């Protein structure tokens, strides 16, 4: 069968099958583009010492790694040595300037606060991008990348591999088939943080290692004195660079409810935590988000739903009928869907879904499967889409049309926690990216230093607080960051 006739057959067959099921043709796992087996992507990678190395390992067998960039050459040395022919860079902007014409795609695995600018600059150059989770550090950055993906037409993928796993597919299929009835509450839990949080700002600066460019690591954030407690791994707990436990795991754990329940923007959010410091994420937190009713599906309604997030050892009540002696969260995370007919439980990444009733659902398979999603399939599905013709391309499972809005949900949880000092449920206008119930003249203070000490066996709580600042302006800066001089995002596409 010729390539042309084969493509026509696949399109026609898929459309015919969609007519007798509830499935669109894109779920059938068929690639409609013609790809020469000798074609290879020329990939540049920014941030190679941690997850970037894992992403490289999952594509290096079939693609060309031609450029490597990192701000810490000691941390990156092993990867540099593994790819001696790849050109090395400190600054991603120089990599783009020098290698731009020869790059097809970019993998970004830097600290959270630099994801958006590195990704946006690649997209405006017409490069396909794979960006680690969380996609961005702020709501505005997520919205920007969502719109840039639509306007540039490049292939995009966020590094939440569970979105491609069959477990997430099954969660969606069971809920869409009405197996647990209408979902009115979802509880999401993680064992993070597994790094220190709730810390005071270091009082003493450390000498910057010669192998680290601290200015480039800081990027668009404010320039703090260097401390070894920030880098290379513990940056995730510090607000300037990371998004705490939410940023680390929510993109894995919240994605299945986001997709299965067809969520978009919450209307109400509230957060609480252990002591909230203005520079460091708290040790434990709880976030509640309210999402309005969505359009009903053929076999199940989509009413208003509460989404709860717990981390740092906090747990919700055990569901009624949960097996005695069984851990509520046996791994890194769990999601509990409370339906009107049954309760659905899945692990971190959406894996291993099961029903509390013990029933075994037999729902139609309407989601496209990605083989070996958790061990390289997620990256290779992105590679596949990069090579397909734009006119009939099947986008990967976490392209930015979905990952962008979902990441807004994640960083919205961060906003709820950081604004808990306003002592209310915050009302959110998702379209305009602003809170509607913060007064123009309201103020907020945040804790600078814990100051807990013990003298002669008696505790003292000499906490230091910031001067009151305008709460509306403070919230607006959390939604859309003011970048440091010399760093600028592309304009928001109309």
pLDDT of 173 strictly over 60: yes
Average pLDDT of the segment spanning 401-420: 98
The predicted structure's pLDDT at residue 38: 53
Is 165-355 in CATH node 1.10.3470?
no
Contact (CB, 8 A) for 109 and 132: yes
Instruction: Copy the structure tokens of residue 97.
Output: 């300037």
- How is domain 3-163+370-401 classified at the architecture level of CATH? 3-Layer(aba) Sandwich (3.40)
Examine the pLDDT at 4 and tell me if it is beyond 70. no
Q: Tell me the pLDDT tens digit for each residue of 430-471.
A: 999 999 999 999 999 999 999 888 888 888 888 899 999 999
> Which pTM was predicted?
0.91
∠ CA 128-55-191, nearest 5°, is 115
**Residue extents of the structural domains in the chain:** 3-163+370-401, 165-355
Structure tokens that stand for 240 in this block: 């300037």
The rounded distance, in Å, linking the Cα atoms of 208 and 30 is 51
- Give burial (CB, 10 Å; 0-12/13-18/19+) of 326: exposed
d(CA 270, CA 413): 8
| Residue pLDDT, tens place only, 118-147 | 999 999 999 999 999 999 999 999 999 999
- Give the rounded distance of the alpha carbon of 451 from its chain centre: 33
265-295: b (≥16 Cβ within 10 Å) or e: bbbbbbbebeebbebbbbbbbbbbbbbeeee
The C-alpha atoms of residue 494 and residue 491 are separated, in whole angstroms, by: 9
Beta bridge partners of 289: 269, 307
């Amino acid at each position: 069968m010729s390539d042309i006739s084969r493509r026509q057959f696949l399109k026609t067959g898929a459309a015919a099958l969609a007519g007798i099921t509830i499935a669109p043709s894109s779920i059938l796992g068929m690639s409609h583009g013609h790809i020469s087996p000798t074609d290879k992507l020329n990939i540049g990678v920014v941030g190679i010492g941690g997850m970037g190395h894992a992403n490289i390992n999952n594509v290096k067998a079939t693609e060309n790694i031609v450029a490597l960039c990192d701000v810490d050459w000691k941390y990156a040395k092993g990867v540099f040595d593994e790819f001696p022919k790849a050109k090395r860079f400190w600054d991603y902007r120089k990599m783009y300037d020098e290698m731009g014409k020869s790059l097809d795609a970019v993998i970004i695995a830097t600290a959270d606060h630099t994801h958006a600018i590195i990704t946006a600059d690649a997209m405006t150059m017409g490069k396909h991008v794979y960006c680690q989770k969380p996609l961005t550090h702020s709501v505005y950055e997520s919205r920007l990348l969502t719109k840039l993906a639509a306007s540039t037409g490049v292939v995009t993928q966020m590094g939440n591999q569970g979105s491609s796993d069959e477990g997430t597919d099954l969660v969606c299929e069971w809920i869409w088939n009405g197996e647990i009835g209408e979902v009115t509450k979802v509880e999401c839990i993680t064992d993070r943080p597994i790094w220190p949080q709730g810390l005071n700002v270091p009082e003493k600066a450390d000498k910057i290692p010669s192998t680290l460019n601290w200015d480039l690591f800081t990027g668009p954030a404010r320039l703090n004195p260097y401390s070894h407690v920030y880098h290379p791994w513990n940056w995730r707990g510090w607000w300037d660079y990371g998004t705490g436990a939410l940023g680390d795991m929510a993109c894995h754990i919240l994605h299945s409810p986001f997709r299965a329940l067809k969520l978009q923007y919450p209307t109400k959010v509230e957060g609480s935590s252990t002591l909230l410091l203005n520079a460091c994420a708290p040790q434990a937190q709880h976030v509640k988000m309210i999402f309005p009713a969505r359009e009903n599906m053929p076999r199940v309604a989509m009413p208003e739903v509460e989404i709860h997030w717990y981390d740092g050892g906090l747990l919700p009540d055990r569901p009624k009928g949960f097996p005695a002696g069984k851990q509520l969260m046996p791994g890194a995370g769990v999601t509990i869907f409370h339906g009107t007919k049954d309760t659905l439980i899945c692990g971190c990444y959406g894996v291993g879904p099961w029903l509390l009733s013990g029933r075994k659902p037999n729902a139609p398979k309407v989601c496209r499967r990605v083989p070996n999603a958790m061990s390289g399939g997620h990256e290779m599905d992105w590679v596949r889409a990069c090579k397909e013709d734009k006119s009939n391309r099947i986008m990967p499972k976490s392209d930015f049309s979905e990952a962008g809005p979902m990441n807004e949900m994640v960083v919205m949880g961060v906003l709820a926690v950081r604004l808990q000092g306003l002592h209310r449920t915050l009302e959110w206008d998702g379209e305009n990216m602003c809170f509607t119930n913060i007064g123009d003249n309201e103020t907020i203070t945040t804790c600078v230093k814990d100051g807990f000490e013990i003298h002669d066996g008696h505790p003292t709580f000499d906490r230091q607080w910031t001067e009151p600042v305008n709460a509306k302006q403070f919230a607006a800066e959390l939604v859309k960051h003011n970048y440091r001089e010399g760093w600028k995002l592309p304009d928001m596409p109309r």
